[in-house]
Amino acid sequence: MCGTCGCGADFRLISPDAAEPVQPGHHHHENHSHGHDGEGARTVVLQEKILGRNDELAQRNRDWLRRRNVLAVNLMSSPGAGKTTLLERTATDLAGITVSVIEGDQETALDADRMRRAGCRVIQINTGTGCHLDAAMVGQALTTLDPPDGSVVVIENVGNLVCPALFDLGEAHRVVLASVTEGEDKPVKYPHMFRTADLVLISKTDLLPYVDFDVERHAADVRQLSPGARMLQVSAVTGDGMQAWYHWLQLSLPG
């Protein structure tokens, strides 16, 4: 079990062209421990070591991506906020930019299949009982995916507003998707996720007339947590606001 959040450590990496795992994974963080001694100080030290090792691997990923001139974006949200739908529309609309996707889910390759049908090169990571991706998983996925120079890799993290915020994956930017169907209180309830965001996308805005979502309150809470974060409103169904999202991606490309 992961000493940081208690989630499982088994994962499967499914190649872009096959439905079978490239390799079965029982992924152990360095300094991983199965002990349960109840000592708070020892737990804190273990957590620091796990995150420290993850940060080292994240920097390797970042260097690997920089050498290839590849933009990596860590896309995070709660389940059902619309990450895959956003990426389907993005892959369809964007011309001249190759978009590859690393899909993170506990089970199935359903989202990977959707992205493949949208024309993306994609690799699926199934985390089993794990509630987040980490830098080691992403590093293996990048090697298998082998994105071309000058392209975009979107890492669609496991749907969760807690643990994914803790783990640097080597991305250039963090994007948080906040659906209007969830209510505007998520920045207050999950501050660390929004505090680390470079961009917050308010999704499913076509449903605003039908739900109770205070856009101004949500924006004020995000600004208080992350004053430098940009905020955009988008609907992947109607296309409203999507050009601003595409423009942000284009401006973020290296070089």
> Residue 226 and residue 222: Cα distance in Å, rounded?
6
Amino acid code (one letter) for 121: R
Confidence of residue 251 (pLDDT cuts 50, 70, 90): very high
Measured between its terminal Cα atoms, the distance across the chain in Å is: 40
> Residue 114 and residue 109: Cα distance in Å, rounded?
9
Confidence of residue 181 (pLDDT cuts 50, 70, 90): very high
pLDDT the model gives residue 18: 56
> Residue 47 and residue 4: Cα distance in Å, rounded?
5
Parse the chain into domains and list their residue ranges.
Answer: 10-30+39-252
Amino acid code (one letter) for 235: S
How confident is the prediction for the chain on average, in pLDDT?
A: 88
Beta bridge partners of 230: 199
> Residue 221 and residue 175: Cα distance in Å, rounded?
16
Lowest mean pLDDT among 27-41, 91-105, 130-144: 27-41
User: What confidence tens digit (pLDDT) does each residue in 47-100 have?
Assistant: 667 788 999 999 999 999 999 999 999 999 999 999 999 999 999 999 889 999
* Residues 6 or more apart in contact with residue 146 via CB below 8 angstroms: none
Confidence of residue 43 (pLDDT cuts 50, 70, 90): low
CATH code for the domain defined by 10-30+39-252: 3.40.50.300
Question: For 119, left (φ over 0), alpha (ψ -120 to 50), or beta?
Answer: left
> Residue 145 and residue 216: Cα distance in Å, rounded?
40
What average pLDDT does the segment 124-150 reach?
A: 95
What average pLDDT does the segment 180-194 reach?
A: 97
Percent of the chain residues topping a pLDDT of 90: 78
pTM of the model: 0.86
